[in-house]
Amino acid sequence: MTPVPVTPSARRRGRPSRVLVYAALTVALAATLIPFVWMFLGSVKTEAELRQRPPTWWPQTFTWDNFTAWFGRLDIGTFFVNSVVVAAFTVLGTLVFCSLVGYALAKLDFPGKRVVFTLVLVTLMVPGVVTFVPLFVVVSKLGMVSTYPALILPFLAGPLGVFLMRQFIKDIPDSLIEAARIDGAGELRIFLRVVMPLCGPALATLAILTFLGSWNNFLWPLVVAQSEDMYTLPVALSLYSVGQNSTNYGVLLAGSVLIITPVLLLFVALQRYFIQGIAATGIK
Amino acid sequence: MTVLTRPASPVAPVRDRGRGPAAVRRRRTAVIAYLFSLPFIASFAIFMVFPLISSLGMSFTDFRSTDIPTPFAVAFVGLDQYTALFQNEQFLRSMLNTLYFVGVGIPLTMAVALVLAVALNGAITRFRTVFRVGFYAPVVTSIVAVAVVWRFILQPDGLLNTLLASIGITGPDWLGDTAWSMPSMILMAVWRNMGTLMIIFLAGLQGIPREVMEAAEVDGAGAWQRFLRVTLPMLRPTLLLGAVLLSVGYLQFFEEPFVMTKGGPLDSTLSISYFTFNQFGFGNYGTASAASYVLFVAIALLSIVQFRAFRTKE
């Protein structure tokens, strides 16, 4: 805090109210985090204890059984690899596609540029269900049902990524690009050597947003991944939770922990970029 | 992409089209720009624009899942799908439900997010990051995973009702009672979305110059007056943005009921998106497309209205 001259009366008013704000925020934070706490604690409880009423907080008997179920009977390795592969290629593809077209829209002149950009803006408002049905028809016509491309390709055309990259690249001074051009650099070289190195923050934001979307996506994979070897983690969990196993509550909780933990760790480690990213997409 | 194949034009109507070095360079730039855009435009065309247009086309036909092998053999039925929709009680119910969710959910989420943002921005100086990370955490988590826990919280003898019982309140069957199922969905949505809005509002608050606040304070404005007369008006663009983002998302309301209630009980949490998804499941692709376009129009209209409403006040 910068030292601001505080009148005695303001100081007297300030202190108790600040304590109140802290107290209120702490209560709100506890309420927000209760589902997580309960998930983690529940995942190491026995089935009998989970059925106990009133519910217990701290596990009476500690057990890893719920987790071993995922590593034994259920093929979590495959689901995990699927989720990682899909997310990795979706992020990579989105970064390449969106930064290329973002550069073209921001710095190059070509006929039809306005049409492309307007279309991108309009599709930002298109609800997912509008394209859902024909997209499924396209994918089944192309014979891609239950393949990685079906899980990845439809998400490389995200209008948000194009918008983000275009806005960011637009703010890079033209003089930098002109200087490179005068030095005889080609457009590809300018893009790779001048523009991309300056796009770090935007690329980080886009990578994080795309990764989150892909990792947590479940409706499309649920419809398109029809064989068990193509399930992603959320698909596996959601199918498991409606099957005859739905009564096996501890296993469901352990599955939730397994899906959420990698993202939560990533988030805590990179929280600055997450938050910058959200603010940037919003404000720009 | 005619530029790629067209030979030098015989007549040069404008000076841009000549053979001069400037024109050659311009054409070269255009070709390069198309090459740069090609990967995106190709996938955008196949996976976004084509589905968007065929969905509109399908909504004027009686397309069913059995027509996939012969998509052009379907019958054109004009506006029949749309007129049937607006006579379909389940669809009308889903519209009312969506309206309920949006009408209560948006103001509530914005209010909660704004309170959190204001508290984090000015009222406290320490542990800001801890609070920010904590309130944002629900945003990054998978709805499927979260649903498992929330089902337990909202069970008749679950966590929430146990807490309520400890202060002498008998809680309802949150997910099983038609009166409480929607409020439960809204509660979950607020929990899942307040973080995003809080971050956007925080960024907006930090854009308000300190001098303005200090000037208001010197003029004797109290905290509440400063909030009403300075903070809110200066935050208008940010609030607008938050409202638009939220309404585009909330009008598509689907995931919470899909994982929690399957649209029930008695269709009390069936949204337009959910109705559409069910029609897709039944194989009624024409009906699904028509319903999805009704939603698209609603989203576009609401966005326009919001932009108007916030603009005219200035």
Q: With helix as H, strand as E and coil as C, how does A30-56 read?
A: HHHHHHHHHHHHHCCCCHHHHHCCCCC
* Complex ipTM tops 0.85: no
Percent of chain A at pLDDT above 70?
A: 89
Task: Give the integer Cα–Cα distance in Å for A209 and B209.
Answer: 30
pLDDT of res. A284:
39
| Termini Cα distance of chain B | 43
- In tens, the pLDDT along A191-242 reads 888 889 888 888 888 888 899 889 988 888 988 888 888 888 888 888 877 6
Could you tell me the fold of the domain covering B81-312?
A: MetI-like fold (1.10.3720)
Read off the pLDDT of each residue in B285-291 and give the average, rounded to a whole number.
Answer: 90
Task: Give the integer Cα–Cα distance in Å for B53 and B47.
Answer: 11
The residues in A 153-192 lying below 8 A from B, measured between CB atoms, are 153-154, 156-157, 159, 162, 187-188, 191
CA-based angle B185:B189:B193, to the nearest 5?
Answer: 180
The residues in A 218-257 lying below 8 A from B, measured between CB atoms, are 218-219, 233-234, 237-238, 241, 249, 252-253, 255-257
User: Of A53-57, A75-79, B34-38, B41-45, which gets the smallest average pLDDT?
Assistant: A53-57
Torsion angle in degrees (nearest 10) through CA of B53, B59, B61, B63: 90
Q: What would the two tokens of residue B71 be?
A: 């998509």
pLDDT of res. A49:
80
Output the average pLDDT for chain B: 83
Residue boundaries of the structural domains of chain B: 2-58, 81-312
Backbone angles phi, psi at B255, to 5 degrees: -65, -45
Q: Does residue A267 sit within a domain?
A: yes
Residues of chain B with Cβ-Cβ distance to A268 below 8 Å are 133
pLDDT of res. A18:
78
Q: Residues B240, B302: contact at Cβ < 8 Å?
A: no
- Do the Cβ atoms of A133 and B58 come within 8 Å? yes
pLDDT at A107 over 80: yes
Q: What would the two tokens of residue A76 be?
A: 């979590």
Task: Give the integer Cα–Cα distance in Å for A97 and B42.
Answer: 10
pLDDT at B202 over 80: yes
Q: Does residue A37 sit within a domain?
A: no
Q: Give the predicted TM-score (pTM) of the model.
A: 0.83
pLDDT at B2 over 80: no
**Number of folded domains that form chain A:** 1
Q: Does residue A150 sit within a domain?
A: yes
pLDDT of res. B6:
43
pLDDT of res. A246:
59
- Do the Cβ atoms of A137 and B68 come within 8 Å? yes
Task: Give the integer Cα–Cα distance in Å for A229 and B231.
Answer: 53
Q: What residues contact A46, with CB distance under 8 A and at least 6 apart?
A: A61, A63, A65, A250
For A99, other C-beta atoms within 10 Å of its C-beta total 26
Q: Residues A122, B8: contact at Cβ < 8 Å?
A: no
Sign of CA dihedral A117, A119, A121, A124: negative
> Which chain B residue is nearest to residue A281, measuring alpha carbons?
B200
Read off the pLDDT of each residue in B217-223 and give the average, rounded to a whole number.
Answer: 80
pLDDT at B9 over 50: no
Q: What would the two tokens of residue B108 be?
A: 């509530």
Task: Give the integer Cα–Cα distance in Å for B159 and B241.
Answer: 35
Of B136, B207, B259, the CB nearest to A238: B259
For A151, other C-beta atoms within 10 Å of its C-beta total 27
CATH number of the domain at A87, please.
1.10.3720.10
Task: Give the integer Cα–Cα distance in Å for A200 and A196.
Answer: 7
pLDDT of res. A245:
59
- In tens, the pLDDT along B70-83 reads 767 777 887 888 98
Backbone angles phi, psi at B61, to 5 degrees: -125, 175
pLDDT of res. B231:
85
- Do the Cβ atoms of B148 and A256 come within 8 Å? yes
3-class SS at B76? strand
The whole domain housing A108 covers: 75-283
Q: Does residue A171 sit within a domain?
A: yes
Read off the pLDDT of each residue in A244-273 and give the average, rounded to a whole number.
Answer: 82
pLDDT of res. A84:
93
- In tens, the pLDDT along A168-197 reads 888 888 888 888 888 888 888 888 888 898
- In tens, the pLDDT along A3-62 reads 444 444 444 445 567 788 888 888 999 889 999 998 888 888 887 787 777 777 788 778
Partner B contacted by A39 (CB < 8 A): yes
- In tens, the pLDDT along A66-101 reads 788 778 777 888 888 999 999 999 999 999 999 999
Confidence of residue B192 (pLDDT cuts 50, 70, 90): very high
Maximum C-alpha span of chain B: 89
Of A104, A124, A238, the CB nearest to B37: A104
